[in-house]
């Protein structure tokens, strides 16, 4: 998968921006340790994963070294979204030794985080395999890495919920209260941005019926019991799509996978990730 394969807006620009910010906080006004190495020394290095994972982060690695040193070559052995085994070489770097070592941590930080996200997403996607359910992420992402993590979720085989507050309505309890009820909130949403998806989060069957009558496109069932969920599915059939949310972890997902729901969303895809353990090894006989 590449950024061009996704519908995530502004992803290419966000990659440039996030890499620029990451290099600025790490390198500052210069890598003083790299100055120990002769300026003209070249080297070759390998980046290896120490554990099984779904790889993600290629565009960020390329951007790190493009901004640092456009003459440095990145040689790829994997693609984004590829399952790789522990010990696998992910990519190699060939060029100026200072550039390799200066960009190492920045590049690996992106890869370990995004591969961690993609790996988590892959485990969730596997639990829903063979069903029509789409597993969605949320806005519970690392600040500044919204589109990056959304991309990683796609690489892991899950799907994106709305990107931000601008591309779809998600009317929750406080919006309902402030807008004067579900009917008012949905009606105003249709006026503010005609054609935009309107989703309403409900906490009871009564609110579900109100959302259906108001014409919501999607209804999110928040912390519904199994009995309430069955009733909701019966009421909503053919009238709105149903999304289940709230306390959805892998164990709960296994329980929900047999239901005839359209979407299951989980913040765990992006906020409970565990970074993948990576290592860069500079070949000792490649320097000159």
What are 150-166's pLDDT values in tens digits? 999 999 999 999 999 99
**Are 64 and 139 part of one and the same domain?**
no
Q: What average pLDDT does range 6-21 have in this prediction?
A: 94
The question of whether 223 is a catalytic residue gets the answer no
Number of domains observed in the structure of the chain: 2
**Is residue 250 very low, low, confident or very high in pLDDT (cuts 50, 70, 90)?**
confident
105 a catalytic residue:
yes
Q: How confident is the model at residue 249 (pLDDT cuts 50, 70, 90)?
A: confident
- For residues 44-58, average pLDDT: 98
| 193 shares a domain with 100 | no
Position 288 in a domain: no
168 inside domain: yes
Residues 83 and 159 in one domain: no
Our answer to whether residue 271 is catalytic in this structure is no
Q: Are residues 47 and 104 in the same domain?
A: yes
Q: Which residues, other chains included, contact 44 with Cβ-Cβ below 8 Å and sequence gap of 6+?
A: 92, 93, 94, 282, 283, 286
Please confirm, yes or no, whether 222 is among the known catalytic residues.
yes
- 89-137 confidence digits (pLDDT tens): 999 999 999 999 999 999 999 999 999 999 999 999 998 888 889 999 9
Tell me, yes or no, whether 142 and 267 share the same domain.
yes
CATH of residue 137's domain is 3.20.20.70
**Is pLDDT above 70 for 240?**
yes
Catalytic residue of the set 17, 46, 66, 172: 172
pLDDT of residue 259: 80
pLDDT digits (tens, 9 = 90+) for 159-210: 999 999 999 999 999 999 999 999 999 999 999 999 999 999 999 999 999 9
Name residue 259's beta-bridge partners.
none
Q: What is the CATH number of the domain that holds 11?
A: 3.90.1170.20
Do 57 and 111 meet the contact criterion of CB atoms below 8 Å apart?
Answer: yes
Regarding whether 266 and 141 lie in a shared domain, the answer is yes
Does the annotation count 252 as an active-site position? no
Do 41 and 121 fall into the same domain?
yes
Domain-located, residue 287: no
Q: Which of 17, 139, 140, 241 is catalytic?
A: 140
Q: How many residues does the chain have?
A: 288
Domain span including residue 11 = 3-125+274-282
Residues 57 and 110 in one domain: yes
Query: pTM higher than 0.85 for the full model?
Result: yes
pLDDT over 80 (residue 247): no
> Do 81 and 118 lie in a common domain?
yes
* 137 and 221 part of one domain: yes
**Catalytic residue, candidates 51, 94, 159, 222:** 222
Q: Out of 17, 105, 193, 241, which one is annotated catalytic?
A: 105
């Amino acid at each position: 998968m590449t950024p061009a394969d996704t519908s995530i807006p502004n992803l290419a620009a966000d990659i440039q921006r996030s890499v620029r910010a990451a290099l600025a906080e790490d390198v500052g006004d210069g890598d003083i340790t790299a100055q120990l190495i002769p300026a003209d020394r070249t080297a070759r290095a390998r980046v290896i994963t120490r554990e099984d994972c779904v790889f993600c982060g290629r565009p960020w690695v390329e951007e790190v070294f493009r901004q640092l040193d456009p003459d440095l070559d990145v040689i790829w052995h994997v693609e984004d979204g590829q399952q790789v085994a522990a010990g696998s070489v992910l990519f190699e770097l060939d060029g100026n030794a200072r550039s390799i070592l200066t960009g190492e941590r920045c590049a690996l930080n992106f890869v370990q985080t995004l591969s961690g996200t993609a790996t988590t997403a892959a485990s969730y996607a596997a639990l829903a395999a063979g069903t029509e359910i789409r597993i969605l992420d949320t806005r519970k992402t690392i600040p500044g890495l919204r589109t990056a993590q959304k991309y990683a979720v796609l690489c892991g085989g899950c799907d994106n919920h709305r990107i931000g507050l601008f591309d779809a309505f998600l009317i929750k309890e406080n919006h309902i209260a402030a807008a004067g009820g579900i009917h008012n909130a949905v009606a105003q949403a249709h006026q503010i941005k005609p054609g935009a998806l309107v989703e309403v989060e409900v906490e009871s069957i009564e609110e579900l019926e109100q959302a259906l009558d108001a014409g919501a496109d999607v209804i999110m069932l928040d912390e519904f019991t199994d009995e309430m969920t069955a009733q909701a599915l019966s009421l909503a059939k053919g009238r709105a799509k149903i999304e289940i949310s709230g306390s959805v972890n892998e164990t709960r997902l296994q329980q929900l996978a047999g239901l005839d729901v359209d979407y299951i969303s989980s913040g765990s895809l992006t906020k409970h990730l565990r970074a993948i353990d990576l290592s860069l090894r500079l070949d000792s006989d490649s320097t000159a």
